Structures are given as structure tokens and as C-alpha cells.
Amino acid sequence: MNKKIAVLPGDGIGPEVIEQAIKVLEAIADRFHHQFHYNFGLVGATAIDKTGSPLPDETLETSLQSDAVLFGAIGDPKYDMDPNAKVRPEQGLLAIRKNLGLYCNIRPVKAYPSLIKYSPLKEDIVRPVDMVIFRELTGGIYFGEKGRSAEGSTAFDHCSYHVEEIERIAQEAFKAARLRRNKVTLVDKANVLETSRLWRDTVTKLAKKDYPEVSLDYLFVDNAAMQIILNPGQFDVILTENMFGDILSDEASVITGSIGMLPSASVGSKTSMYEPIHGSYPQGAGKDIANPIATILSAAMMLEHWGMTNEAQTIRDGIDVYLANGFGTEDLKPSYKLSCSQTGDLIASIIEGEPLNQQKLEKLKAGMSTII
Ligand code: IPM
Ligand code: MG
């Protein structure tokens, strides 16, 4: 296949982790005879510094004309310290979601056997974790009218949802559940919020009509936050609105041991976008220490979306070989510590099928790399 990928590295460690994902994509291209074309664009604080805009028109144009967007990370401490800044890196991310119509954000959370010991939770609780969060991404309080009263002492953020906005993401969540364990949990605050009651009515009707084989249950968001810690293994597909999904997906992402491992996909009416869940980790930028696996797994989700199932599985298998041999970036507290770029090189060479004989692995483990 021939595919055009818009690459938006963004801020902080974004460029470093993206570089590794591209190495891995090139290894896949070689092995499976595909051609990937990369068009780079500016986004976030880097884009503000160079153009004044967090999402320059050119970046949006490139994204719209590509088959997918591979996104690094955005955010810079100089803006985090100033919540009143008029132009902010986050606006670039929200604008690209809105302009590409990315209404469905998919965040899988799965326990890796070799990392379970680093979870803040007990091993027995984490071992069965295999859930995916479907977060609505272009509606709700994030995109509602917001403002301040004239004298500045009152502020508001409007939350609204239309039935169609709920139905389209619910369809995606139910379709995913059918390929998994046939269970959807709708998370809302229907005991208080009218938008949540609309979510319940809409999702209940849709489930009865189109997905009778999928079991649907409901949790209030406060209880869901508790259940994700107490018994995360109970979840298969979690379906929820924009802000609840933002909060719960951060919570869920840390229970498996490293946030540096979790990918995401945002799909919608136009080009889809793939990005790691972690942020721009400015303290680690330029040091070649970041964990690129979340971004590499995001690239695997992109291939999966194009129907390249074997290719995606080859990436996941490559990562398993890497982890099972005790390699890892420093956040994984591995037996054999590698840098971000060494991690990309090693996973790419595993994928290319370069025979990784024991001698080579031992040399690598002793820090005397022959491959990298
Ligand atoms: C996320 C992030 C964004 C969000 C921020 C950076 C605007 O937290 O992707 O989860 O709130 O959606
Ligand atoms: Mg978030």
C-alpha cells in the first residue's frame, strides 16, 4: 500500500518519540513492501513560536490531505504557568480535533506482564486489565460556549450534546465490544446532569435496537473513578463523554505501570489521528530518555485502521520481544536500560527480522551494541 502520513511532532519529547515511530514504520514498509510518505507540520508551542498560531493553516491542510495524522505531544511549561495566555498550545490540539471531525477517541489500557510489578496497584488487581475507553472528543463542555460576566466575577462553560453526537460514538463503542468481550459500560452523571440523561436514553435505545448481544451497564462517573482502582478487570469497553473521558483515561493509564506505553486513536469523519496518551514531558526533552513505545503502538493502531492487521501485530510482537528480554527506557525500570533512539533502533531491527541471536542480545545487554 501507498499511504500519506502527516507527521506533527509538536513539543517537548514529541519529536524524539515520533522519530522512533517512523523508524518502526520504515521497518514495516521494508518487510511488507509498503510505501509511506511523511509530510511534517508544526503544531503546539513550537508552532506558536514560529508562526504565532498553535495550528497553522498549512498544518491543517497537510493533515486533511493525508491518509492519517501521527501526532507527538503538545504543551510547554511557559504556557502552563500562565492560564490567561490568549494563545495556547492546547488550542492547536482542540482545533485539529474539531477540524478533522475526530469525534471518537479510543484509548486501550492493557496490562503488560513484564510491567505489572511497577503498577501502583496490587498485582492481582492489575493482571486482568484489558479495557478500552471510548471518549467523545468534539462536543460537551470542551466546545460549548464559555465566558465571563462583564465585571468578571462570574464565569461559565456550557455543556451540550445532540443525540446524533452520542449515537455516532456509541456505534463505534458497541462495534468494538462485539469484537472483544461484548460489554459496554456507559459512564455518566445521570443523577445530576441533563446531558447525561440524554446519553443514557440514547445509548439504551441504540443498544436494544442494534446490539442486543452486547451487555450494557451504567456507572456514575464518581463511582467509575473508584471502580477503576478497586476492580479495573471488570471493564471491557467504557463509553463516555468528553470531560469524563479525559479524567478517567488519565486515571486508567497509570494503573498498568507506565503511561509511556499507552497509545490512542482519534477517528471521525475525515483523516484519523494517532498519538501517545502521555504529554510533552518537557523535563525529558532533548535528553533521549523518553519512552517511544506509546507512539510506536499508536502507529500500530494506524496500520490496523488501514486493515494492515499483520503489520500491526508484527509491531506489537516486536515490542513484546523487546520487553521480554528485559530492555526498556528508564521509566520502565528495566534490567537493561536503553535510550529512546536505541529503543526505536532495536524494535525496528526486531521487526526487520534481523536475526537477534543470543550473542547479539548479550552484547546489547552488556551495553556493547552491535545493532545499535
Ligand atoms: C488529552 C489532553 C487534552 C484534553 C489537553 C491537552 C487539551 O489532556 O488529550 O487528554 O484535555 O483533551
Ligand atoms: Mg487528558
Q: How far apart are CA 321 and CA 347, in angstroms?
A: 8
| CATH match of 1-115+260-372 with 3.40.1160.10 | no
Task: Report, as residue numbers or ranges, the catalytic residues.
Answer: 142, 189, 222, 246, 250
Residues facing 70 on adjacent strands: 7, 274
Alpha carbon nearest to ligand 1 atom 4, residue: 246
With a Cβ cut-off of 6 Å, ligand 1 is lined by 90, 93, 246
pLDDT at 361 > cutoff 80: no
Q: How many CB atoms lie within 10 A of CB 340?
A: 23
**Ligand 1: which atom is nearest the Cα of residue 89?**
6
Place of cell 503489520: 311
Assign 354 a pLDDT band (cuts: 50, 70, 90): low
pLDDT at 290 > cutoff 70: yes
Per-residue model confidence (pLDDT) at position 358: 64
How far, in Å, from the CA of 370 to the mean position of ligand 2?
Answer: 39
**Ligand 1: which atom is nearest the Cα of residue 97?**
12
Q: Of 103-117, 176-190, 209-223, 300-314, which gets the smallest average pLDDT?
A: 103-117
DSSP notation for 76-125? -HHHHT-TT-SS-HHHHHHHHHHHTT--EEEEEEE--GGGGGGSSS-HHH
What nine digits make up the cell of 38?
511523511
pLDDT at 345 > cutoff 60: yes
| 120-145+159-256 and 1-115+260-372 share a CATH fold | yes
353 vs 267, more confident: 267
How far, in Å, from the CA of 319 to the mean position of ligand 2?
Answer: 25
Per-residue model confidence (pLDDT) at position 113: 86
Per-residue model confidence (pLDDT) at position 356: 65
pLDDT tens digits for range 50-62? 999 999 999 999 9
Assign 181 a pLDDT band (cuts: 50, 70, 90): very high
The CATH code that applies to domain 120-145+159-256 is 3.40.718.10
Q: What is the mean pLDDT of residues 84-107?
A: 94
pLDDT at 39 > cutoff 60: yes
pLDDT at 369 > cutoff 60: no
Domain boundaries, the chain: 1-115+260-372, 120-145+159-256
Per-residue model confidence (pLDDT) at position 371: 52
Q: Of 45-49, 110-114, 205-209, 283-287, which gets the smallest average pLDDT?
A: 110-114
